Amino acid sequence: MRQNGIDMYRVSNFFIKNCVTVLFVILCIIALYITTFSPTFILEEIFMRMGRSTLLVLSLLIPVIAGLGLNFGIVVGAIAAQAGIFIAVFFFQYIETLFGEGRLLGFMADFAGIGFIGFLIAFAVATPLAILFGFLVGKLFNKMKGTEMIGGLVAGFFSDGLYQFFFLFVMGGLFTVDMMARLFPDAALNLILPTGVGVMVNINLQGNIAGAVDNVSMLRIVDAAFYVVSAVSAVMLIYRFVTKKALGLLKIAKVFVPVAILWGASHIFPAVEEFLLADRLRLIYAVEWTAFLVAAISLWRIIQEKALQKKEGVPLRPILYLAAAALVYGITWHPAVYTAFMHVRLPVLTFLLIIGTCFFIRWFLNTRLGQNMRTVGQDRAVATSAGINVNRVRIIAIIMSTTLACWGQLIFLQNMGTMAMYGAHPAVGLYTVAALLVGGASVQSAGIKNALLGVVLFHTLIFLAPNVGAQLMGDSQHGEFFRLFITYGVVAISLALYAWSRIKTASSAAQIGDPAPDTGGGAQES
């Protein structure tokens, strides 16, 4: 009975902590059953939305780990991205006129396309702005410790007001069209409203920014990877030779040789080159190759652990990964699954950036600064006594979050192909926070798996809601209302559960005579 009681407690505790995720899983299953969309179309839409939004959701993780809670202030990062895109689009023709014949711009245009140049211009303008905005928001949060989420909301509204003042009044008002025409005679001036005051509501990004990242071919990615790896390897060898350190040829070769082989194959074998010329990778290939890679790594770990540790039996975790890889690969042989996966194409560079960001976050959290952020998030008093500059660590966390949100908004808008000048950024904070909470995160704890699961569940339901509303009530507008309801509801329920857990923790601490623990909000990265 005791054991059953413990088990029941664990089960109930699991459902209480993950009630939002469980509810969304149930709602997604019901929506998938009701919808009239085909499985192929649903898969295409889900992966497209993952490519758009995942980087934005990942930008929320580091502040949670640093004890700053859910950073609603990432709106300022989105504003920086949109300002960068506007400047890139506005001056695109002007810059192209000045430098279009230059060798560098011509090489970049041939290498990755004109749109990628526009994207780089937006990136170069937006990133310093995001760093500056993140620094200012971090300074604000240090003045209001314990109420950072409210501060983030207020900062988002305030920055939106400044943003609208600049683009609705300054552009075309104080900074007149005639003045812009004199300063930049070759720039595109058709972004201003017909009245001459204020920027247009919708800006078309086709031909400059649209698809700049999504449309980069795999062949260009391989070429760029080869050049970068070659340059880094050469610099490392020269540095180690000059400083008389061990060259570490084997370690360098582990990275350089596979990239060099793939690069060489792309230039020697026409079939390889033709395959890599595509900018999209079929989902079936991505799943199969991932399964093979996981299986190979699992087998290597099994052999390594058996050889080095000489334990009896087989290690459990690699066996589970190997079984999962075999199961996933077997599922792809089902005709319906194979057909659906064959029709879904993934933008390669976009998903590589998402994967790279995930690995960067995992690596960063194991660095000294990352460990300091964990300590600050768990208990600020302990961090201060350990000699950690708490305010500095918190500011760095917000700068990183804001910068990642800026890059995520750049990815989002280049995928959309159009920019709602005044409507694209206000909902960024709410929707990304809701997606993270749907994945099982909380104000105090969040990990990469929560971000990825949340993006899938949240956007699946958001995407299906209008169609389900049309099927059940004959009007897709009901689905739109439900979409807004669940977005605000997820945030409200999660914050209510957080407040309830704080009250319960404080009550328990008071009963045993201990001081209430610091609720700054540390997180354990999974």
pLDDT digits (tens, 9 = 90+) for 413-444: 998 888 888 888 888 888 898 888 888 887 77
Lowest model confidence (mean pLDDT) among 50-64, 155-169, 333-347, 497-511: 497-511
Is the residue at 373 inside a domain?
yes
Kindly tell me if the per-residue pLDDT of 402 is higher than 80. yes
Lowest model confidence (mean pLDDT) among 19-28, 395-404, 455-464: 19-28
> In this predicted model, which residue has the larger pLDDT, 439 or 82?
82
How many other C-beta atoms can be found within 10 angstroms of the C-beta atom of residue 360? 13
Q: Which two tokens stand for residue 49?
A: 């939305």
Is the residue at 12 inside a domain?
no
Cβ-based neighbours of 513, under 8 Å, separated by 6 or more? none
* Tokens 């200012």, located at residue: 136
Angle between helices 75-99 and 428-438 (to 10 degrees): 120
Helix H segments across 35-166? 39-58, 61-65, 75-99, 103-112, 114-143, 148-165
Lowest model confidence (mean pLDDT) among 73-87, 88-102, 224-238, 396-410: 88-102
Q: State whether 479 and 422 are in the same domain.
A: yes
Residue 66 is predicted with a pLDDT of 87
Angle between helices 19-34 and 428-438 (to 10 degrees): 100
Q: State whether 283 and 273 are in the same domain.
A: no
Residue 79 is predicted with a pLDDT of 93
Kindly tell me if the per-residue pLDDT of 146 is higher than 90. no
Is the residue at 514 inside a domain?
no
- Confidence label for 525 from pLDDT (cuts 50, 70 and 90): very low
* Among 100-109, 169-178, 270-279, the range of highest mean pLDDT: 270-279
Nearest to 214 by CA among 124, 292, 280, 260: 280
CA distance 178 to 189: 10
Q: State whether 100 and 47 are in the same domain.
A: yes
- Confidence label for 306 from pLDDT (cuts 50, 70 and 90): low
Q: State whether 270 and 382 are in the same domain.
A: no
Q: What is the DSSP letter of 418?
A: E
Residue 407 is predicted with a pLDDT of 94
Residue 520 is predicted with a pLDDT of 47
Residue 512 is predicted with a pLDDT of 52
Is the residue at 251 inside a domain?
yes
Q: State whether 208 and 221 are in the same domain.
A: no
Q: State whether 163 and 247 are in the same domain.
A: no
Domain hosting 185: range is 18-216+279-509+519-525
Is the residue at 163 inside a domain?
yes
Residue 130 is predicted with a pLDDT of 93
Q: What per-residue string of b and e applies to 238-275 under the rule 16 or more CB within 10 Å gives b?
A: eeeeeeeeeeeeeebeeebeebbeebeebeeeeebeee
> In this predicted model, which residue has the larger pLDDT, 412 or 92?
412
CA distance 236 to 216: 29
Residue 465 is predicted with a pLDDT of 81
Kindly tell me if the per-residue pLDDT of 521 is higher than 50. no
Is the residue at 7 inside a domain?
no
Among candidate residues 253, 278, 303, the one where a domain is terminated:
278
Residue 166 is predicted with a pLDDT of 85
Lowest model confidence (mean pLDDT) among 305-314, 372-381, 415-424: 305-314
Please state, for a pLDDT cut of 70, what percent of the chain lies above it.
Answer: 79
Torsion-angle region of residue 438: left (phi > 0), alpha (psi -120 to 50) or beta?
alpha
pLDDT (average), residues 125-143: 92
**How many structural domains comprise the chain?**
2
Residue 175 is predicted with a pLDDT of 57
Kindly tell me if the per-residue pLDDT of 256 is higher than 60. yes
Residue 400 is predicted with a pLDDT of 93
CA distance 42 to 123: 31
Q: State whether 40 and 165 are in the same domain.
A: yes
Residue 278 is predicted with a pLDDT of 85
Kindly tell me if the per-residue pLDDT of 187 is higher than 80. no
> In this predicted model, which residue has the larger pLDDT, 517 or 332?
332
- Contact between 57 and 432 under an 8 Å Cβ cutoff? The reply is yes
Among candidate residues 278, 309, 329, the one where a domain is terminated:
278
Residue 8 is predicted with a pLDDT of 64
- Contact between 21 and 453 under an 8 Å Cβ cutoff? The reply is yes
- Confidence label for 12 from pLDDT (cuts 50, 70 and 90): low
Is the residue at 4 inside a domain?
no
Kindly tell me if the per-residue pLDDT of 477 is higher than 80. no
CA distance 245 to 241: 6
> What does pLDDT average to over the chain?
80
Residue 295 one-letter amino acid: A
Handedness of CA 332, 336, 339, 341 (dihedral sign): negative
Rounded to two decimals, the pTM is 0.84
Residue 510 is predicted with a pLDDT of 55
- Confidence label for 134 from pLDDT (cuts 50, 70 and 90): very high
CA distance 408 to 51: 10
Residue 102 is predicted with a pLDDT of 44
- Contact between 325 and 298 under an 8 Å Cβ cutoff? The reply is yes
Q: What is the pLDDT of residues 16-44, one digit of tens each?
A: 677 778 888 888 888 888 888 888 888 88
Q: State whether 338 and 238 are in the same domain.
A: no
pLDDT (average), residues 464-471: 80
Residue 522 is predicted with a pLDDT of 43
Is the residue at 494 inside a domain?
yes
- Confidence label for 2 from pLDDT (cuts 50, 70 and 90): very low
Kindly tell me if the per-residue pLDDT of 409 is higher than 90. yes
Q: State whether 257 and 284 are in the same domain.
A: no
Q: What is the pLDDT of residues 194-250, one digit of tens each?
A: 776 777 888 888 877 888 888 888 888 888 889 998 998 888 888 888 887 777 778
- Confidence label for 524 from pLDDT (cuts 50, 70 and 90): very low
Q: State whether 259 and 391 are in the same domain.
A: no
Residue 55 is predicted with a pLDDT of 92
CA distance 109 to 116: 8
Handedness of CA 176, 177, 182, 188 (dihedral sign): positive
In the chain, the N- to C-terminal Cα span, in Å, equals 32
Q: State whether 129 and 233 are in the same domain.
A: no
Kindly tell me if the per-residue pLDDT of 345 is higher than 70. yes
Residue 523 is predicted with a pLDDT of 42
Kindly tell me if the per-residue pLDDT of 311 is higher than 60. no
Helix H segments across 166-282? 177-183, 218-242, 249-268, 270-276
Residue 96 is predicted with a pLDDT of 54
Q: Which residues face 204 on adjacent strands?
A: 418
Residue 471 is predicted with a pLDDT of 79
C-alpha triplet 96, 99, 102: angle, nearest 5°: 130
Among candidate residues 251, 278, 305, the one where a domain is terminated:
278
Q: State whether 41 and 128 are in the same domain.
A: yes
